[in-house]
């Protein structure tokens, strides 16, 4: 069969299966991310049905998926909201880094993966999944709860940390010298600072440049601007993903709302390809040797996120039930964890087992996170009815 025809058939089959998996995930109330990863494992080398060479499309599509994920994430915030969230949550954010990067760092060092592996795996276990958490909070009707601003402020802080972490990560993975690394990090900080100032003072002009009443024109301008900024950022060693995130922050008001609505289907399509490509590049035969370590990381990082949420909510004066909900809401890991691991694996700077460990870990946490958010309230209420556990205030019920 002709190569083009075969590639179209294989891609069509992949997308159709992804659609079925996403529908099934929606039916059972879970994020489709773990099912996309499983699909990639099934279609990759060592999987059940290895596909032919479709990397010419999937590699570029997965890069676009990362760009769109970060762009739409940036569209959710204005620069003013980011600064407000940073002031409100910096202490909780620092505790979040220390507690939740520690399990990944410790396991990487125990496995002998060295400082680079520790830096990568620490990032994988640190960052919560904003996408999964936002969906779960909406599904459970908790967007108006007292603890939700605490959850969102921690997520904002994590996103800002990622804006610094990803350029540093790409610098380290690129094997750049210490002085070159300092220069790259300095450039990153400078670019981030400039974009923040522009977003604060001139965001309306950036919005006006990409805005349009015509949906087709609007889509082409926003999508084109995202790819241009991502490409320039990558050339400056700032990370394409961070460039897209910063562009999203600079776009504000109704333009950001309309752009998010318009880009969502495109983002979901290319993001699905990104997760599948990560699964395609992970040999499922490498998972059993790291399964125990993935479970260890899942247990440890679930406990540390619960602790982070409990402490942050307690500082905000929220009762015990709200503290428990805050911690459980932060448990899920997803897109950012895979992005970090994907950068490391594509650079060839870490052990091959790290991809298998990251994939297995995210599979566990993307499933465990929504479950924890759902069961924490009935469990906490049951404990409240037990002896010696003070009841929450009526506002927390």
**Dist. CA 385–CA 103, nearest whole Å:** 33
State both tokens at 316.
Answer: 């905000």
Lowest mean pLDDT, pick from 3-7, 143-147, 353-357, 377-381: 3-7
Helix, strand or coil, per DSSP, at residue 390: coil
Lowest mean pLDDT, pick from 76-85, 226-235, 377-386: 76-85
Residue 121's pLDDT is 93
Residue 396's pLDDT is 46
Choose among 328, 341, 340, 313: nearest CA to 377. Answer: 328
Q: How many Cβ atoms sit within 10 Å of the Cβ of residue 254?
A: 9
Cβ pair 293, 80 in contact under 8 A: no
- Residue 393 pLDDT greater than 50, yes or no: no
Q: Which residue has the tokens 């205030």?
A: 393
**Dist. CA 241–CA 234, nearest whole Å:** 8
Q: How many Cβ atoms sit within 10 Å of the Cβ of residue 176?
A: 16
DSSP conformational letter for 394: G
Whole-Å CA distances, 65 to 143, 173, 222, 320, 382: 27, 21, 14, 39, 42
pLDDT in tens, 278-332: 777 777 888 899 999 999 999 999 999 999 999 999 988 898 889 999 999 999 9
State both tokens at 188.
Answer: 């990153």
Whole-Å CA distances, 67 to 60, 62, 169, 274: 11, 9, 17, 10
Residue 242's pLDDT is 73
Residue 136's pLDDT is 81
pLDDT in tens, 19-50: 888 888 888 877 787 888 888 877 766 566 66
* Backbone phi and psi for residue 138, each to the nearest 5 degrees, phi listed first: -65, -45
**Dist. CA 111–CA 218, nearest whole Å:** 49
Q: For the chain, what is the mean pLDDT? A: 81
- Residue 149 pLDDT greater than 70, yes or no: yes
How would residue 108 be classed by pLDDT, with cut points 50, 70 and 90?
very high
- Residue 276 pLDDT greater than 90, yes or no: no
User: CA torsion angle for 362, 368, 369, 372 (degrees, to 10)?
Assistant: -170
User: CA torsion angle for 170, 174, 175, 177 (degrees, to 10)?
Assistant: -70
pLDDT in tens, 123-142: 999 999 877 887 788 777 88
**Dist. CA 336–CA 172, nearest whole Å:** 18
Of residues 20 and 349, the one with the higher pLDDT is 20
Residue 351's pLDDT is 64
Cβ pair 246, 203 in contact under 8 A: no
How would residue 161 be classed by pLDDT, with cut points 50, 70 and 90?
confident
Lowest mean pLDDT, pick from 104-113, 234-243, 300-309: 234-243
Choose among 144, 132, 179, 102: nearest CA to 29. Answer: 132
Choose among 282, 280, 276: nearest CA to 350. Answer: 282
Average pLDDT over residues 246-274: 85
User: DSSP 3-state helix, strand, coil percentages of the chain (rounded to 5)?
Assistant: 80, 0, 20
Name the percent of the chain lying above pLDDT 90. 19
Choose among 349, 337, 296, 290: nearest CA to 37. Answer: 337
- Residue 77 pLDDT greater than 60, yes or no: yes
Cβ pair 121, 113 in contact under 8 A: yes
**Dist. CA 326–CA 305, nearest whole Å:** 9
Lowest mean pLDDT, pick from 95-99, 175-179, 239-243, 345-349: 175-179
Residue 177's pLDDT is 57
- Domains delineated in the chain: 32-384 (1.20.1530.20)
């Amino acid at each position: 069969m002709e190569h083009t025809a075969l590639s179209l058939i294989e891609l069509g089959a992949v997308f159709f299966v992804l659609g079925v998996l996403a529908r099934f995930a929606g039916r059972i109330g879970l994020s489709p991310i773990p099912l996309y990863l499983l699909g990639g494992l099934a279609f990759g080398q060592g999987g059940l049905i290895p596909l032919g060479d479709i990397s010419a499309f999937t590699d570029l599509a997965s890069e676009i998926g990362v760009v769109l994920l970060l762009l739409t994430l940036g569209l959710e915030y204005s620069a003013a909201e980011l600064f407000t969230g940073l002031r409100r949550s910096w202490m909780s954010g620092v505790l979040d880094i220390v507690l939740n990067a520690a399990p990944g760092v410790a396991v990487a060092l125990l496995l002998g993966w060295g400082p680079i592996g520790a830096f990568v795996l620490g990032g994988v276990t640190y960052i919560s999944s904003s996408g999964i958490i936002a969906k779960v909070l909406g599904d459970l009707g908790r967007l108006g709860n007292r603890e939700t601003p605490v959850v969102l402020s921690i997520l904002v802080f994590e996103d800002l940390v990622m804006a610094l972490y990803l350029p540093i990560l790409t610098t380290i993975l690129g094997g750049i010298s210490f002085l070159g690394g300092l220069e790259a990090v300095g450039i990153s900080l400078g670019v981030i600072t400039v974009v923040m100032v522009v977003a604060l003072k001139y965001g309306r002009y950036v919005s006006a440049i990409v805005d349009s009443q015509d949906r087709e024109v609007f889509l082409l301008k926003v999508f084109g601007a995202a790819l241009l900024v991502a490409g320039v950022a990558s050339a400056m060693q700032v990370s394409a993903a961070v460039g897209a995130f910063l562009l999203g922050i600079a776009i504000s008001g109704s333009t950001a709302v309309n752009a998010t609505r318009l880009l969502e289907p495109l983002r979901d399509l290319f993001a699905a390809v990104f997760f599948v490509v990560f699964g395609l590049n992970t040999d499922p035969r490498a998972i059993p040797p790291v399964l125990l370590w993935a479970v260890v990381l899942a247990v440890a990082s679930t406990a540390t996120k619960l602790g982070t949420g409990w402490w942050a909510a307690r500082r905000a004066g929220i009762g015990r039930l709200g503290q428990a909900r805050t911690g459980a809401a932060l448990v899920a890991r997803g897109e950012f964890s895979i992005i970090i691991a994907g950068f490391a694996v594509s650079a060839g700077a870490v052990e091959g087992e790290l991809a298998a460990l990251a994939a297995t870990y995210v599979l566990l946490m993307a499933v465990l996170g929504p479950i924890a958010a759902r069961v924490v309230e009935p469990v906490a209420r049951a404990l409240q009815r037990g002896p010696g556990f003070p009841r929450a205030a009526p506002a927390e019920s």
